[in-house]
Structure 1
């Protein structure tokens, strides 16, 4: 905790508009994140350093089940994924993160004291989004987009629920390796 606090203090002292990204919060030891509470709390400064311009971003899979449930509920009621609004799930996400023992936010004072401004869900990707990822990857490799290959790669991906095949299990994570099968670089 001391090392984390020292690292944050040093960076913000050097640049007031520092951005800190904490990835995989769900794998972080419960309570560790509370070490940064003073920097997010409502203080003008701590030891002569102001943290009000610093940005903290926390990435986590906590709440993923809830996000999936909401997305599936929308789909089953005939609504588009794009119709989901932050207000449709923000409260449920904060409660889910706070109560999840496998979350770095488990009973965290950051949530308890409302120090997190926004919970932004990463919605599951549909087939059409997956095809967009494949096209972008083809272009980034310098290939002309071949819609036959785009469709073949997309069909090889796994989706859930199994019967309906609505959302990609892995998002776009395996697109890179799937494309390797079709191109010999």
Structure 2
């Protein structure tokens, strides 16, 4: 018992200098300070080995994110600029006004999943494997429209549980175009500019919606732009975002009649343009390098021949974007 007391005094002395001045201080105080020190030590060790919701594991690598998008995202100047602007603005604020909500729109294979992966990779040390990065497929998780009331309870509980664990979580909703209308409004209270909901701060979270809604309309606009002889880089975000908004509010889709659109709660609509042959060719080269294949003009062209381009006569845009299997 004497040895334990002496040990506790030494440890407590490290925590609080007053104990050193009076080594025979009240034993309860000594034990309290010892427990405090032990708690700090445990948290420090735990954070070193196990992922925790702090700066050791969530690193906000904006420079790396910008460099990655600049070098490996092809043909998507609107998405690149929009993502960097809104991600940086959100992360650089110690107390954001509201949660960041980005809605990605474009046809299959244009890079929506790809950009989401890059974002996770540069914000979390473990990337998509982080326990604070949550990917949910609307088609798989919410297949039945008649079960929306049940899905609402489940989605609400899921959001609250994960934000309570880590306010700096990111939620990626894939195949949003297959989500039953009205369901997404369940998370609306967590996206508004409230300071807290139920004592929990929801404003540091990031939500990314991936959808093909307005994808055809964006493609038609890009084709008309090309047909008129204008450079792709001249496509402005305002024109394409207006197309997304008109489509989202005039057709039955995941955002149809949603309060998230009309209040509004979505921070930004991010358009993904259809990909031209030069963009697809670079995608193929990257994929071959990643898989250890020898990259030659002949091998790249052999893959290109298997891809359908639209329109049939002009052959401008890839029908499947960069969604290539080989």
* TM-score, reference length from structure 1: 0.90
- The answer to whether structure 1 residue 77 and structure 2 residue 228 are counterparts is yes
What's the secondary structure of 1:110's corresponding residue?
helix
**CA shift digits 1:100-150 (9 cap, x unpaired):** 21x211111100111111111111110011111110111011122111111
Structure 1: gaps spanning 5 or more residues: 178-185
Matches within 5 A, 1:142-157: 142-157=292-307
**CA shift digits 1:1-40 (9 cap, x unpaired):** 1111111111111111111111111100000000001011
Give, in whole Å, the separation in 1 of the partners of 2:261 and 2:156. Answer: 19
Give, in whole Å, the separation in 2 of the partners of 1:49 and 1:158. Answer: 49
User: Which position in structure 2 is the counterpart of 1:116?
Assistant: 266
Check the 8 A contact 1:62/1:100 in 2, yes or no.
no
Instruction: Kindly tell me the number of residue pairs found equivalent between the two proteins.
Output: 175
User: Which position in structure 2 is the counterpart of 1:61?
Assistant: 212
- The answer to whether structure 1 residue 45 and structure 2 residue 196 are counterparts is yes
Give, in whole Å, the separation in 2 of the partners of 1:153 and 1:126. Answer: 15
Give, in whole Å, the separation in 2 of the partners of 1:88 and 1:99. Answer: 17
**CA shift digits 1:57-81 (9 cap, x unpaired):** 1111111122112111210111232
**CA shift digits 1:74-99 (9 cap, x unpaired):** 10111232322211211221221122
- The answer to whether structure 1 residue 86 and structure 2 residue 263 are counterparts is no
User: Which position in structure 1 is the counterpart of 2:275?
Assistant: 125
Structure having the higher helix fraction is 2
What's the secondary structure of 1:57's corresponding residue?
strand
* TM-score, reference length from structure 2: 0.52
Q: Which of 242, 246, 264 pairs up with 1:95? A: 246
CA RMSD between the two structures: 1.1
Runs in 1 of length 4+ with deviation above 3 angstroms? Answer: none
What's the secondary structure of 2:312's corresponding residue?
coil
Check the 8 A contact 1:93/1:119 in 2, yes or no.
yes
Check the 8 A contact 1:137/1:176 in 2, yes or no.
no
